[in-house]
Amino acid sequence: MTAHATEEMAEDLITILDVEEAVLNGHIIRVEKDDPRGPKYVVAGTALDQQTPVGVVGRFLSNGRYLIITVYEINELEV
């Protein structure tokens, strides 16, 4: 997880458990292929409370790990 993602989590009062829940039980809503470093996957899910919509943006690294770039609470316009 990047420092930026950690900062965004704090701003939106999202915990690491909320991010984990969103990634494990959410779904990919978009793949952004315009970055030369590789595609970014936007995952939409819900926080641990099953009510707060959470967005997670990340990419897969060469070792197969998913690097979380940013995290945010999804507003109604994005869904």
Q: How far apart are CA 26 and CA 63, in angstroms?
A: 23
Using CA of residue 42, residue 46, residue 52, residue 58, what is the dihedral sign? Answer: negative
Is 79 within the bounds of a domain?
no
In the DSSP assignment, the letter for residue 64 is S
Which residue range(s) make up the domain with 69? 3-73
Least confident window among 16-20, 31-35, 75-79: 75-79
What rounded mean pLDDT belongs to the chain? 94
Q: How many domains in the chain? A: 1
Say whether 8 sits in a helix, a strand or coil.
helix
Is 66 within the bounds of a domain?
yes
Q: Which amino acid is at 54?
A: V
For residues 54 and 35, is the Cβ–Cβ distance under 8 A? no
Is 51 within the bounds of a domain?
yes
Percent of the chain residues topping a pLDDT of 90: 94
pTM attached to this predicted model: 0.89
Is 36 within the bounds of a domain?
yes
Is 30 within the bounds of a domain?
yes
Is 78 within the bounds of a domain?
no
Is 50 within the bounds of a domain?
yes
pLDDT tens digits, one per residue of 2-31: 999 999 999 999 999 999 999 999 999 999
Is 9 within the bounds of a domain?
yes
